[in-house]
Amino acid sequence: MAEASGFLSAHPDAVLVRLEGVQGSAPREAGAWMLVAAGACFGTIGGGRLEFDAIAAARAMLDGGAAEARLQVVLGPDGGQCCGGRVGLVLRRLDPAARAALLRAEEAGQEARPLVLILGAGHVGRALAGLLVQMPVRALLIDSRADQVAQAPPGVEARMTPLPEAEIRAAPPGAAHVVLTHDHGLDFLLVAEALARGDAAYVGMIGSASKRARLLRFLAERGVAHRGLTCPIGAAGAGDKRPAVIAAFVLAEIMAALGARVSQAASSAADG
């Protein structure tokens, strides 16, 4: 929301372009939107020729003074895209009321973002946090060490606490929990805490095959089921142990898990 607000502050005369009525294959889902001003854009409706033409139409509105336009676009070879679907575009020039409504909706969407707890602010934790700030999630980097928290990447929400397990207990249902502290014993305790909740979208721990085996014994001794555990995290990286590479693969795991959670919720709502 802050980014959209900043864009509108810098470009007060703008057109909201929103995708509606998507049929078939399209580069973005219904509801995707972007803002178009005379010399800048914010957001995306999928790129390519669809977005190119939408920007041109929005700027024609700005030049001509029109308040609203509607377009039906077939995404075929003639338009330089081969998606094969059809989309409806609604273009509205933002007046003060529409601007306020957009920012309220964005703020509500930000508050509803899933939470990702990064438990450990070492090299991999900081690298992961730096990637997650670009995702539609709220990422919280947690550590007990002030010097590590102080190195959090720009824009990352970081918290120093001697009780990281309390952050796990306070997390909302459907959160992701990534455990990569400097202490194996603490890792085990935090994983057990996250798994015991039974409602996490993702629980992952950094480690090796031997560390996983020790963790499973630890969990079994405490009667905690390990169903849903990802360990080692970032395993698709084929053994590349550079923090940035591990973080990239863990990011993919987290976003896939959160996406699956959203799909399951939507399916359950439809069936209900």
Write down all domains in the chain, each with its CATH number in brackets: 2-110 (no CATH), 113-270 (3.40.50.720)
94 close to 15: Cβ distance less than 8 angstroms: yes
54 close to 89: Cβ distance less than 8 angstroms: yes
Distance between CA 25 and CA 87 in Å, rounded?
9
Peptide bond into 12 cis (omega under 30): no
Residue for token pair 């703008």 = 14
33-36/229-230 β-pairing: unpaired
| Helical axes 209-221 vs 184-197, angle rounded to 10° | 60
What are the backbone angles phi and psi of residue 133, rounded to the nearest 5°? -65, -15
Give the Cα-Cα-Cα angle 185, 250, 245 (nearest 5 degrees).
105
Q: What is the reported pLDDT for 74?
A: 86
Distance between CA 12 and CA 226 in Å, rounded?
52
Q: Which is nearest to 143 in space by CA: 114, 188, 178?
A: 178
Structure tokens at 178: 């990534």
Structure tokens at 183: 């202490």
Secondary structure of 225-261 as H, E, C letters:
CCCCEECCCCHHHCCCCCHHHHHHHHHHHHHHHHHHH
pTM over 0.85, yes/no: no
DSSP string across 151-182: TPPTT-EEEE-S-HHHHHHHSPTT-EEEE--S
DSSP string across 178-194: EE--S-HHHHHHHHHHH
Reading the chain (272 residues) residue by residue, the pLDDT tens digits are 458 889 999 999 999 999 998 888 888 999 999 999 999 999 999 988 899 999 999 999 999 989 999 999 888 765 666 667 889 999 999 999 999 999 998 888 888 899 999 999 999 999 999 999 999 999 999 999 999 999 999 999 999 999 999 999 999 999 999 999 999 999 999 999 999 999 999 999 999 999 999 999 999 999 999 999 999 999 887 778 899 999 999 999 999 999 998 777 666 666 66
Q: What is the reported pLDDT for 272?
A: 61
Q: What is the reported pLDDT for 78?
A: 53
68-74/202-205 β-pairing: unpaired
66: which strand partners?
Answer: none
Q: Which is nearest to 129 in space by CA: 161, 160, 156?
A: 156
Distance between CA 181 and CA 3 in Å, rounded?
32
Distance between CA 83 and CA 143 in Å, rounded?
45
Q: What is the reported pLDDT for 2?
A: 59
